[in-house]
């Protein structure tokens, strides 16, 4: 997820505009800012690039999720279904609005298993969050139809999949709302930042106000004259961050093209090993190719490959999520025990603990065999060849010394 890898004069120039006029806030200061509105420009560019009607920038992907959930009306005691393989931000946002995260199994797409979603639906379910992990997508046709059938809201967490699409529509624009993260390791970055995308005017108005203390932004140049139709929060992005994002969004197509080229080259090399299988991609043409995710036949083989890659100094950039503290339920003891710095309501605490301690053995069987290789924009063809061949040698060595089930 490489926006930071190709830092250039383009980012420096956009930043310079803001540094020169000295207006770092996205709202107000109309006279002094000499027509420079980087955040508004970036929101327009997001709508144009991804084909959505509205975009609301926020301070992070996490605050974009919180803002979107709030705007969708999710709150006290509502259940929100999401996958057990994600980043902690997804369930943090659900808890932050007072709702209950109901984690369910993934499948070989590494995203929500539609059947697991169906089984988890109760009268309290309000929303489903597919998390489009590692640059690729959930089975959106299946999830859209479940949400229609049960009258549930659909919020796409597309934080890791900017520029990926499903059957011709960009991820983040298919559900009632979608979120992007522009943190330092995402496909395009602002340094820190996020966005809520939606085609629904009422949801957008709520995102716009909620992320800025409830301002209705109708007071013109006088922010003090704005009304506050509801209680909000400060999840604003700054003009400095938006300036970086504006340069990066203009470069997105070129980033994606390099990513796809490098992904294909590495996949061709790894495909030489018949025992390796690859993540199922519901719409291969829409993969943004930030990662190549592959499976070993067994957990033992995966662990041995990871250990050998570490021993040979080539593990960097390869992620064994099963052992990672931040992305998979297995290591989320804080969630399983609902440990919070502030007081959660007793019923919320009880529900969090209940759902986080479900049986995730189906997902364990997938995640324990999965390695995701991050695709760099900086690799040369020679480096891909060298990297791929080293990986193949390690995998073959491990497999030849293991008993692989038929
Ligand atoms: C799937 C997912 N959702 C949400 C986030 C949160 O984004 P941010 O780091 O901008 O808060 C991330 C960040 O890694 C993520 O991977």
Taking the C-alpha atoms of residue 167 and residue 138, their distance in angstroms, rounded to an integer, is 12
> In angstroms, rounded to a whole number, what is the distance separating the alpha carbons of residues 91 and 107?
19
Q: What is the 3-state secondary structure (H, E, C) of the chain?
A: CCHHHHCCHHHHHHHHHHHHHCCCECCCCCCCCCCCCHHHHHHHHHHHHHCCCEEEEECCHHHHHHHHHHHCCCCCCCEEEEECECCHHHHHHHHHCCCEEEEECECCCCCECHHHHHHHCCCCEEEECCECHHHCCCCHHHHHHHHHHHCCEEEEECCCCCCCEECCEECCCCCCEEEEECCCCCCCCCCCCEEEEECCHHHHHHHHHHCECCCCCCCCCCHHHCCCCCCCCECCCEHHHHHHHHHHHCCHHHHHHHHHHHHHHHHHHHCCCCCCEECCCCCHHHCCCCEEEEECCCHHHHHHHHHHHHHCCCCCCEECHHHCCCCEHHHCHHHHCCCCCCCCCHHHHHHHHHHHCCCCHHHHHHHCCEEEEECCCCCCHHHHHHHHHHHHHHHHHHHHCCCCCC
CA of 143 to the centre of ligand 1 (A): 21
pLDDT digits (tens, 9 = 90+) for 187-215: 999 999 999 999 999 999 999 999 999 99
Whether residue 267 lies in the annotated active site: no
pLDDT of residue 376: 96
Give the orientation angle of helix 9-21 with respect to helix 38-50, to 10 degrees.
140
pLDDT digits (tens, 9 = 90+) for 299-342: 999 999 999 999 999 999 999 999 999 999 999 999 999 999 99
Q: How many C-beta neighbours within 10 Å does residue 220 have? A: 9
CB 190 within 8 A of CB 41: no
Which pTM was predicted?
A: 0.97
Candidates 4, 59, 61: which one to mutate for ligand 1, based on the most atoms within 8 Å of Cβ? 61
Q: Can you tell me the distance from the alpha carbon of 23 to that of 247, in angstroms, rounded to the nearest whole number?
A: 18
User: Catalytic pick from 34, 40, 148, 186?
Assistant: 186
pLDDT at 4: 80
Measured CA to CA in angstroms, residue 4 lies from 8, 11, 346 at distances of 9, 10, 42
Please report the pLDDT score of residue 1 as a whole number.
61
Instruction: Tell me the best of 95, 178, 181 to mutate to test the pocket of ligand 1, counting ligand atoms within 8 Å of each CB and taking the most.
Output: 181
- pLDDT tens for 213-251 read 999 999 988 999 999 999 999 999 999 999 999 999 999
349: Cβ contacts below 8 Å, ≥ 6 apart? 338, 340
Q: What is the pLDDT of residues 106-132, one digit of tens each?
A: 999 999 999 999 999 999 999 999 999
Segment 350-361 shows an average pLDDT of 98
Whether 26 contacts 20, CB under 8 Å: no
Is 159 near ligand 1, meaning CB less than 6 Å away? yes
For residue 181, what are the β-bridge partners?
194
Position of tokens 């830092």? Answer: 7
Per-residue pLDDT at 406 exceeds 60: no
Gap from CA of 323 to ligand 1 centroid (Å):
19
Q: Any residues with CB less than 8 A from the CB of 279 and at least 6 apart, and which?
A: 108, 109, 110, 134, 136, 293, 294, 295, 370
pLDDT at position 339 is 98
264-308 tens-digit pLDDT: 999 999 999 999 999 999 999 999 999 999 999 999 999 999 999
- Give the model's pLDDT for residue 405: 52
Q: What backbone torsions phi and psi does residue 339 show, to the nearest 5 degrees? A: -85, 120
Indicate if the pLDDT at residue 404 is higher than 90. no
Of all residues in the chain, the percent with pLDDT exceeding 90 is: 96
Beta carbon of 235 within 6 Å of any ligand 1 atom: no
Cα-Cα-Cα-Cα torsion 60, 55, 146, 157, nearest 10 degrees, comes to -20
CA of 145 to the centre of ligand 1 (A): 26
Nearest to 373 by CA among 393, 395, 388, 389: 388
């Amino acid at each position: 997820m490489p926006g930071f890898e190709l830092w250039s004069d383009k980012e420096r120039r956009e930043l310079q505009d803001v540094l020169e006029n000295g207006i770092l806030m996205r709202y107000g200061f109309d006279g002094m800012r000499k027509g420079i509105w980087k955040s508004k420009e970036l929101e327009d560019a997001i709508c144009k690039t991804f084909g959505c009607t509205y975009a609301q920038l926020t301070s992070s992907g996490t605050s974009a999720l919180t803002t979107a959930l709030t705007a969708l009306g999710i709150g006290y005691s509502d259940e929100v279904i999401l996958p057990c393989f994600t980043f902690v931000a997804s369930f943090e946002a659900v808890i932050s609005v007072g709702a209950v995260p109901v984690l369910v199994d993934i499948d070989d797409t590494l995203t929500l298993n539609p059947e697991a979603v169906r089984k988890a639906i109760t009268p309290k379910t309000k929303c489903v969050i597919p998390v489009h992990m590692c640059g690729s997508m959930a089975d959106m046709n299946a999830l859209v139809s479940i949400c229609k059938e049960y009258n549930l809201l659909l919020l796409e967490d597309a934080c890791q999949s900017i520029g990926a699409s499903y059957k011709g529509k960009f991820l983040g624009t298919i559900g009632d709302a979608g979120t992007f993260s522009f943190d330092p390791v995402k496909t395009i970055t602002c340094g820190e930042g996020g966005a809520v995308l939606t085609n629904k005017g009422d949801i957008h108005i709520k995102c716009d106000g909620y992320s800025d203390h409830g301002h209705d932004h109708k007071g013109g140049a006088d922010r003090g004259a704005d009304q506050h139709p509801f209680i909000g929060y400060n999840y604003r992005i700054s003009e400095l961050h938006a300036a970086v994002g504006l340069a990066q969004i203009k470069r997105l197509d070129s980033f994606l093209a390099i990513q796809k080229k490098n992904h294909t080259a590495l996949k061709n090399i790894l495909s030489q090993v018949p025992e390796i299988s690859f993540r199922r991609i519901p719409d291969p043409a829409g993969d943004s190719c930030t990662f190549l995710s592959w499976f070993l036949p067994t957990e033992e083989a995966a662990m041995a490959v990871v250990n050998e890659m570490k021993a040979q100094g080539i593990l960097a950039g390869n992620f064994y999520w099963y052992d990672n503290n931040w992305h998979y339920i297995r290591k989320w003891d804080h969630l399983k025990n609902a440990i919070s710095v502030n007081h959660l309501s007793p019923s919320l605490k009880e529900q969090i603990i209940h759902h986080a301690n479900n049986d995730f053995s189906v997902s364990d069987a997938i995640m324990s065999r999965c390695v995701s290789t991050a695709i760099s924009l900086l690799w040369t063809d020679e480096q891909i060849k060298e990297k791929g061949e080293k990986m193949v040698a390690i995998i073959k060595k491990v497999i030849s010394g293991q008993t692989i089930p038929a």
